[in-house]
Amino acid sequence: MGAPVIVDVSKLEPGQQIQVGWRKQPIFVIRHTKEAINNIESSLSKLADPKSESIDEPYRDINLTRSKSSEFTILVGVCTHLGCSPKFFPEVEPKSWDASWTGGYFCPCHGSMFDLVGRVFKGVPAPTNMKVPPHNFKGNILTIGEDEEMS
């Protein structure tokens, strides 16, 4: 049940998200486009905890992606409010819940919003950023659930 999950990310296209399971939880693996990486900081003023200071953040200040990779984000796909699964809306376009949407996650259960790397917006029910599980990359192979450098 708690064993690491191995994912070959070589076929994941920029802008695409896949979902895998680890410890009975959905894990979102997102490969960002260059434009998305450039836009990550555009929503800083909307975020409640842009540097993930209120949670245990394993890869704080390594990459903008909150990951060991500068191209991928790995998130526990669970809203930190009541455990619903937020939906991925990567498009930069107005949405009914945010007229200046720059991409990210919206939880339809109670309206929580997160940016493309899982950081929570101000004024929503979710109290914290989405969690980042331990992970590591060896080339195109992503291992979720262990990080040799943290052991």
All domains of the chain in start order, with CATH: 5-144 (2.102.10.10)
Distance CA 49, CA 41 (A): 13
Query: In the prediction, which pLDDT does 1 show?
Result: 56
Q: Is the pLDDT of residue 128 over 60?
A: yes
Distance CA 143, CA 41 (A): 27
Distance CA 19, CA 101 (A): 23
Tens digits of per-residue pLDDT, 45-77? 999 999 999 999 999 989 999 999 999 999 999
First-to-final CA distance of the chain: 19
Number of H helices, E strands in the chain: 1, 9
Query: In the prediction, which pLDDT does 39 show?
Result: 87
Tens digits of per-residue pLDDT, 78-97? 999 998 999 999 998 999 99
Q: Is the pLDDT of residue 2 over 80?
A: no
Give the strand pairing for 135-138 and 72-76: unpaired
How far is CA 145 from each of CA 1, 66, 68, 75, rounded to the nearest angstrom?
A: 11, 15, 13, 11
CB 112 within 8 A of CB 119: no
Neighbours of 31 (CB within 10 A): 19
Average pLDDT, the chain: 93
Neighbours of 87 (CB within 10 A): 11
Q: Is the pLDDT of residue 151 over 60?
A: no
Query: In the prediction, which pLDDT does 147 show?
Result: 85
Q: Is the pLDDT of residue 119 over 80?
A: yes
Query: In the prediction, which pLDDT does 46 show?
Result: 95
Query: In the prediction, which pLDDT does 23 show?
Result: 93
